[in-house]
A and B are shown apart, each in its own frame.
Chain A
Amino acid sequence: MSTTTIAAIEVELTDDGFLVRPEQWTEDMAPELAMREGIDELTPAHWTVLRYMRSEFFDKGTGPTVRMLGKTSGVSVKELYQLFPKGPAKVAARIAGIPKPRGCI
């Protein structure tokens, strides 16, 4: 656990970089969180995925896995990897300020 300042708000991050309190997240934080993941610019397609991740999280209590995203977000798995090359579900969850998707047990 570490504390850092993102978009002028002090937040806590887990050891693997997920926001501890998703309700602290604002859209202003996303570009800065994206930079930490090596994504310099958030396109409208990125935003589609980020907003979908958040709505799924608040609806179902966990963010979707890549396979779920590919089936339901309207963005194909191939495109998801182009948008978030280091692994869509985890990276998008970090940028969207939600916990690590718990699809894998």
Chain B
Amino acid sequence: MAHRVVILGGGTGGTLTANRLRKRFDRDEMTITVVDHDDRHVYQPGLLFVPFGLSAVEDIVRPRHRQLRGGVDFRQSGIDRVSIADNEVRLSDGSTLGYDVLVVATGAVLVPEETEGLVGPGWMEKVFTFYSPEGATALQGALRDIEGGRIVVNVVDMPIKCPVAPLEFCFLADWHFHERGIRDRVELTYVTPLDGAFTKPVASAELAGMLAAKGINLVTDFNTGEVDGAGGRLVSYDEREVPFDLAVVVPLHGGAPYVARSPGLGDDLGFVPTDEHTMQSKAAPNVFVIGDAANVPASKAGSVTHFEGETVVENIVRFVSGEPLEASFDGHASCFIETGFHKAMLIDFNYDTEPLTGRYPAGIGLPLLKESRLNHLGKLLFEPLYWHSLLPGSDLPGIGALMPTAGKHLPAKED
């Protein structure tokens, strides 16, 4: 009998998993069903550019079902809950889907309502987020109209999708106001709960230097307790305040709501406890997790999801064949950081190695942790690769799942 694979979520992880499995198994060996509540696949890295008029939402959204190979069933429905004990998913319309293998790929959702005041007065008027299509579009209007004042970019708390995106927003805003000739009338401030510009030391120092060079203020260790839209201020739990005329906030993130309704599946934030090397969930052996939905200590980013894909698919193959899983995922992440003025930086790291300087993927390659035009072109080129290579499940030329070290300036090993 054919193995029944149900994949919850038709975003980056769900789509590439479905397509890679479809290439490995014929229909009489495996049925593959992808469930999602809508048919809009958003190229999320594109959201960053929308507020600056460099991209439009309709250009970065395509139908989910069109990204799936023939022979993958797409079911458009909300998810009520997963019953691990019964190997069954109950959909919002009351129908059920039985599975032999379940893949959780429903990502992370924004929960702005968990922060006091954030969705209160001023929301979508002077307090925005670019992490949703609606927010990014509304912010475009606000940025266009602004003639000066205090703009704050605030991360409420980790984890967030693409931890470099708010920094990129700062750099692009700096560029945007330069181009308009009003940079001197705009005060830009980056407000983060971290103790530096970024999570990892070498990159954090490098990025803090870039903020300073561009005249962007950095406020650290700021745990946002309240966003007072009417009064125009961020208030931290330890009672510090940062005033603003316009706030760009990255709200708290959680797992998809059905995770919390599914006994034994998720943690307190709705993410799914997952083995960080095999991508098998800790909830049940026949449940695998890919992408932002997993609680693994890697960045919530498309590149991570892409690299996890190889491990997830290989381990599903092994699981249905009764073979031991391979612990092959190393936490590899690779992120372009737009820095404005047609330039970008690239960082590449994994669980054990922080982002370092050097070149990627080897001695001759893109410069790491350093601004260059080449990296900006890389970021632009990535979008067609995303739709035409990554989602269909092809390997990207020269980019392997394991983090390369050949071109990196590694620190001397301590004994």
The interface of chain A, by Cβ under 8 A from chain B, is 60, 65-68, 71-72, 77-78, 80-81, 85-87, 102-105
The stretch from B59-67, B76-84, B130-138, B155-163 touching chain A is: B155-163
Q: How far is the CA of A77 from the CA of B238 in the complex (A)?
A: 10
> Which single member of B194, B238, B273, B298 contacts A104 (CB below 8 Å)?
B194
Which residues of B sit under 8 angstroms from A68, Cβ to Cβ?
268-269
- List 21 interface pairs A-B (beta carbons < 8 Å), by A numbering: A60-B273, A66-B157, A66-B223, A67-B157, A67-B252, A77-B225, A78-B237, A81-B225, A81-B237, A85-B238, A86-B238, A87-B223, A102-B297, A103-B158, A103-B159, A104-B158, A104-B159, A104-B193, A105-B158, A105-B297, A105-B299
With A65-B158, A66-B223, A105-B159 known as contacts, the answer to whether A81 contacts B297 (CB < 8 A) is no
Which residues of A sit under 8 angstroms from B298, Cβ to Cβ?
105
Interface membership of chain B positions 228-240, coded 1 if the CB is closer than 8 angstroms to chain A and 0 otherwise = 0000000001100
Cβ of B1 to closest chain A Cβ, rounded Å: 38
Q: Is the CB of A104 within 8 A of B199?
A: yes
Q: How far is the CA of A104 from the CA of B200 in the complex (A)?
A: 10
Say yes or no: is B125 at the interface (Cβ < 8 Å to chain A).
no
Q: How far is the CA of A26 from the CA of B157 in the complex (A)?
A: 31
Say yes or no: is B221 at the interface (Cβ < 8 Å to chain A).
yes
Interface size class of B (residues with CB under 8 A): 10 to 19
Interface membership of chain B positions 144-173, coded 1 if the CB is closer than 8 angstroms to chain A and 0 otherwise = 000000000000011100010000000000
Which residues of A sit under 8 angstroms from B273, Cβ to Cβ?
60
Cβ of A98 to closest chain B Cβ, rounded Å: 16
Which residues of A sit under 8 angstroms from B157, Cβ to Cβ?
65-67
Q: How far is the CA of A78 from the CA of B225 in the complex (A)?
A: 8
Which residues of B sit under 8 angstroms from A71, Cβ to Cβ?
268-269
CB interface residues, B 263-281, toward A, < 8 Å:
268-269, 273
Interface membership of chain B positions 206-247, coded 1 if the CB is closer than 8 angstroms to chain A and 0 otherwise = 000000000000000101010000000000011000000000
3 interchain residue pairs of minimum CB distance = A104-B158, A81-B237, A71-B268
Which residues of A sit under 8 angstroms from B193, Cβ to Cβ?
104
For A66, A78, A87, A105, the residue with the greatest tally of chain B CB atoms inside 10 Å of its CB is A105
Residue in chain B with minimal CB distance to A102: B297
Q: Is the CB of A67 within 8 A of B238?
A: no
Q: How far is the CA of A94 from the CA of B194 in the complex (A)?
A: 17
For B194, B199, B237, the residue with the greatest tally of chain A CB atoms inside 10 Å of its CB is B237
Q: Is the CB of B268 within 8 A of A72?
A: yes
Residue in chain B with minimal CB distance to A85: B238
Cβ of A16 to closest chain B Cβ, rounded Å: 9
Which residues of B sit under 8 angstroms from A65, Cβ to Cβ?
157-158
With A87-B221, A104-B199 known as contacts, the answer to whether A81 contacts B238 (CB < 8 A) is yes
Q: How far is the CA of A85 from the CA of B269 in the complex (A)?
A: 24
Residue in chain A with minimal CB distance to B300: A105
Q: How far is the CA of A15 from the CA of B98 in the complex (A)?
A: 51
Q: How far is the CA of A97 from the CA of B195 in the complex (A)?
A: 20
With A65-B158, A66-B223, A81-B237 known as contacts, the answer to whether A105 contacts B199 (CB < 8 A) is yes
Query: Known pairs A78-B237, A104-B158. 8 more at Cβ < 8 A?
Result: A67-B157, A68-B268, A71-B268, A80-B237, A81-B238, A86-B238, A87-B223, A105-B159
Which residues of A sit under 8 angstroms from B159, Cβ to Cβ?
103-105
Which residues of A sit under 8 angstroms from B237, Cβ to Cβ?
66, 77-78, 80-81
Cβ of A70 to closest chain B Cβ, rounded Å: 10
Q: How far is the CA of A103 from the CA of B269 in the complex (A)?
A: 11
Q: How far is the CA of A103 from the CA of B194 in the complex (A)?
A: 11
Cβ of B237 to closest chain A Cβ, rounded Å: 4
With A72-B268, A81-B237 known as contacts, the answer to whether A105 contacts B223 (CB < 8 A) is no
Residue in chain A with minimal CB distance to B200: A105
Q: How far is the CA of A71 from the CA of B299 in the complex (A)?
A: 22
Which residues of B sit under 8 angstroms from A102, Cβ to Cβ?
297
Residue in chain B with minimal CB distance to A69: B268
Residue in chain A with minimal CB distance to B282: A60
Q: How far is the CA of A98 from the CA of B269 in the complex (A)?
A: 21
Residue in chain B with minimal CB distance to A81: B237
Cβ of A58 to closest chain B Cβ, rounded Å: 15
Q: How far is the CA of A47 from the CA of B308 in the complex (A)?
A: 40
Cβ of A27 to closest chain B Cβ, rounded Å: 26
Cβ of A103 to closest chain B Cβ, rounded Å: 6
Q: How far is the CA of A11 from the CA of B135 in the complex (A)?
A: 50
Residue in chain B with minimal CB distance to A77: B237
Cβ of B136 to closest chain A Cβ, rounded Å: 24
Residue in chain B with minimal CB distance to A87: B221
Cβ of A37 to closest chain B Cβ, rounded Å: 14
Which residues of A sit under 8 angstroms from B225, Cβ to Cβ?
77-78, 81
Which residues of A sit under 8 angstroms from B268, Cβ to Cβ?
68, 71-72
